[in-house]
A and B are shown apart, each in its own frame.
Chain A
Amino acid sequence: MHLRLIAFLAFVLVQTSPGVRAETAIVLNSVDESVSFVDTRTYQEYGRAPVCKEPHHLMAMPDDSAVIVACAVSNELVFLDPRTGTEQKRIKNISDPYQIGFSPDKAWFVANSLRLDRVDLYRAADFSLIARIPAEKTPSHMAFDKASQFVFITLQDSNEILAIDLKSRQTAWRYPVGPTPAGIHMTPDDRYLLVGIMGADYVEVIDWRARRTVKRITTARGAHNFLPRGDGRHVFVSNRTVSGSISLLDMQNLSVVESYDVPGGPDDMEIREDGKELWATARFARKVQVVNLEQKKLSHSIRVGRSPHGVSFISHAPRQ
C-alpha cells in the first residue's frame, strides 16, 4: 500500500515538475477561424478549437495573464488562458481589430482596423473606446516610444508611417517609407524605428525624432515582422515569401548577423525562454516552423490550420 502511495506521489511530482511538464503553444489559424494547441515538447498539434470570425493576430497581455485574439469580422477580443488555451472571456464591440497592442505604460490599448482604415484608442484598464482616428490606407502593425507618448503605425497601402500623439489623440505626423511597410519595431534605446518593407527586401531604419531615414538594411524579399531575441540587442525579421527566411539583426550596429531558411511564408514569431528555439507561423504552408537557434536551422515543422497568424507560449524570452 505504501509503495503504491509513494509511486503515485512520485508520478504526480514528475507530472507537475516544471522540468518535464508539457507546455502549450497557442497558434492562431486565421482562415480556419480556430486556434491550434501544440505540445512544445513533442511538437505535435494535440487539439484545435473554433474561436471567432476572421481572427488575425494574437498577443499576450503585458502581464502574461491571458492571450488575446483579435477577431476582425466578429468585432471582439477573445481572451485565452496562456497555459491551456481555454477561453476566459470575450469583449464585444471592439470594431474590426486587426493588429492590437498595449502602450508601455499600459494605459492604452490600440487596435488597428486594416480593412477599414482606422485606428481606435481604448483605455486599457476597461477597454472603453476613447478615440477613433482615420488612418488611410490600411493601418497594419504598430510600435510605441518608451514614454508612451506616441504610437507609430505602418500604413501598408500609402507607404507611410503614421505617428499618433496619445496625449492629444491626434495625428502628429506622417513619414514616407518604402513600398508596403508591414512590421515596425522600436530599438531598445528608443532611438530608431525599424520598418519591414514588405514590398522590397529591406528594413528601413528611421530616426523618428528627426524624421529621417538613416539606413536600409537588406534582409530578403518580403521583410515583414519583428520579434526581439530578448537580449536587448538583437531582433528577428521574418521575410515572408514562400521560399522564406528569417534574419537576425543587431540593433546596435544595424546589420544582419544571421539568417535562417524558413520556408512557407514566415510571419509572426515567438522565442523560447532559454533562447534556443524560434517558432514562426508559416502563413503559406499551414505550418509552424521551429528554428533551432543553436544549430541555426529548421528543426521541426508542425502541421496546423489554414493561414496560421500568430503563435504564443508563456515561457517566452523577454520582449526586448
Chain B
Amino acid sequence: MNAFLTDLFVNTQGWLFDRLVQPALFALGLAGYVEMGFEGIEFVLMGVLELGIAYTILRPLEAFWPAEQWSGRKAVRVDVMYTLLNRLGIIPVVVFALLAPAFMALDGWLRFHDVIPRQLEDWLPGLDTHPLASFLIYLLILDFSEYWRHRLSHTISWWWALHGIHHSQRQMSFWTDSRNHLLDDLIGGVWFAGLSLLIGVPPGHFIGLLLTLRLVENLSHANTRLGFGRWGEYLIVGPRYHRWHHAIDLPEGKRYRYGCNFAILFPFWDALFGTLYLGAGLPATGIHEDTPEAITARNDFWGQQKLGLILMWRALAGRRPGSSAT
C-alpha cells in the first residue's frame, strides 16, 4: 500500500514535471532550475494533500459542530483564494524569488570571509543521525520564533496595519489561515530565511515542518466548538484557544492590550511570556474597522492589499493606522 501510494505520488510529480514544468524551464533557458522545479512540485503536491486532509476533517466539523452559525459562506471566498494562491505555490514562489538572491548573496559574502554560521548540530552533534529528535527540536525552535514574529506583528503599529488583514475576517474558518497581506507573507519569509541562516534548518525537514504548522493552523482557525479539554488546551493550539486570539473584543487586562494566545503550535509560549488567556465561551471574531474602505475591503482581495499598504504608510508616517486590534 505504502509503495503504491509512493509510486502514485512520484508518478504524478513526474508527470507534472515532464509535461508542464520542465518544458517551460527549458523554453525559458532556465534548465539550472530543473531540480528546484521538481522539488517545487513536491511542495505544491504536499500542500494540496494537506489541504485535502484539512478539508476532509475540518469541513464536516464546521458543518455539524460550528462555533457560529452563518447565513452564508460568501465572506469565506476571499480566504479560499488566499489559500489556493498559497497552496498552489504562487505566493511561496514569489516570496522565494524575491528573497533567495539577497540571502544567497549574504551567505556567500559571509562564507567568502571565512564566516560559517554556527548551526545547532555544532552544539548537539548527535542530531545529524537522529532525524526524529532533530525534527522535534527544530519544530520547537520554529514555533518559538513564530510566536515572537506573530506577537511583534500585533505590537508594532506598521506591522499590525498589514497583519490586521488576517484579523478582519468575521467568518473565521479553516481557510482563514492563509489570509495574509502579501507583504506580511514576505516579512514572514525574511523571518524564516534569517532563522534558517542562523541555525541551519535542515532542508530535508522543511516540508514536514511546514505541513505540521499548516495543519495545526488550519485546525486552529476552524469554525468549530471543538475543544481539547481543560488540560488539552495547554498542550496544543486548537480552535477554542485560537478563537480568543481572533476575538473582536480582547480580554481585559494590560497584558492583553495587543492581544492574547499568539502561539502557533504550543500554548506554553503564551504561558511562559504572559499572554495566555483561556476564556469561557466562543467569542465573535474580527476587528473594529473605523472607515468605510476598511469595511468594504473585508471581502476584497485587492482592496485588502491596497488598504494594508495605506495603513502601513500612515503608521510609518506616525499617523493613526485606521484600524486597531481592540
Q: Which chain A residues have a beta carbon within 8 Å of chain B's beta carbons?
A: 31-34, 49-54, 73-75, 87, 92-93, 95-96, 113, 115-118, 132, 134, 138, 156-157, 179-180, 198-199, 221-222, 240-243, 264-265, 283-286, 303, 306-307
User: How many A-B contacts if CB must be within 8 Å?
Assistant: 105
B121 touches A74 (CB 8 A): yes
CA distance A32 to B108 in the complex (A): 25
Q: Which residues of A contact B130 (CB under 8 A)?
A: 50
Given contacts A74-B121, A74-B200, contact A157 B32 (CB under 8 A): yes
16 extra interchain contacts, Cβ-Cβ under 8 A, other than A93-B116, A115-B108, A180-B31?
A: A31-B39, A31-B203, A50-B131, A53-B204, A73-B202, A74-B119, A74-B200, A75-B119, A95-B116, A113-B108, A116-B111, A118-B111, A199-B26, A222-B34, A241-B18, A242-B14
Any A CB within 8 A of the CB of B10: yes
A136 to chain B, nearest CB (A): 9
Any A CB within 8 A of the CB of B22: yes
Given contacts A53-B204, A73-B202, contact A243 B18 (CB under 8 A): yes
Q: Which residues of B contact A96 (CB under 8 A)?
A: 111
Picked from B22, B26, B131, B204, the residue with its CB within 8 Å of the CB of A31 is: B204
Any A CB within 8 A of the CB of B293: no
B128 touches A74 (CB 8 A): yes
CA distance A118 to B130 in the complex (A): 31
In the complex, what residue of chain B is closest to A31 when comparing beta carbons?
B204
A50 touches B129 (CB 8 A): yes
Q: Which chain B residues have a beta carbon within 8 Å of chain A's beta carbons?
A: 3, 6, 10, 13-15, 17-18, 22, 26, 29, 31-32, 34-35, 38-39, 42, 104, 107-108, 111-112, 116, 119, 121-122, 128-131, 200, 202-204
CA distance A198 to B30 in the complex (A): 10
Given contacts A93-B116, A283-B38, contact A50 B128 (CB under 8 A): yes
Dominant secondary structure of chain B at its interface with chain A = helix
In the complex, what residue of chain A is closest to B122 when comparing beta carbons?
A92
Given contacts A32-B204, A283-B38, A286-B6, contact A199 B31 (CB under 8 A): yes
CA distance A285 to B17 in the complex (A): 11
Q: Which residues of B contact A54 (CB under 8 A)?
A: 202-204
In the complex, what residue of chain B is closest to A93 when comparing beta carbons?
B116
A242 touches B32 (CB 8 A): no
CA distance A118 to B122 in the complex (A): 23
Q: Which residues of B contact A265 (CB under 8 A)?
A: 38
A199 touches B116 (CB 8 A): no
In the complex, what residue of chain B is closest to A96 when comparing beta carbons?
B111
A116 touches B129 (CB 8 A): no
In the complex, what residue of chain B is closest to A49 when comparing beta carbons?
B129
Q: Which residues of B contact A115 (CB under 8 A)?
A: 104, 107-108
In the complex, what residue of chain A is closest to B205 when comparing beta carbons?
A33
